[in-house]
């Protein structure tokens, strides 16, 4: 069963791992850089809390 809930700061490591796994799967992982900044500020960038 899929459960959707609001992002929590404690989710950061899993979100980061999923991001990199997806990039690896399509051969698009160029390493960490400015293109990943939004994933380090998810609450401020996307949730406006």
What are the tens digits of pLDDT across the range 1-49?
999 999 999 999 999 999 999 999 999 999 989 999 999 999 999 997 6
Encoded tokens for 23: 């990039």
**Cα torsion at 35, 32, 45, 3 (round to 10°)?**
120
Distance CA 36, CA 49 (A): 20
Residue 17: predicted pLDDT:
96
């Amino acid at each position: 069963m899929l459960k959707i809930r609001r992002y929590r700061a404690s989710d950061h490591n899993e979100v980061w791992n999923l991001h990199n796994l997806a990039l690896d799967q399509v051969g698009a992982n160029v390493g960490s850089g400015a293109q990943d900044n939004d994933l380090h500020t998810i609450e401020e960038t996307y949730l406006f809390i």
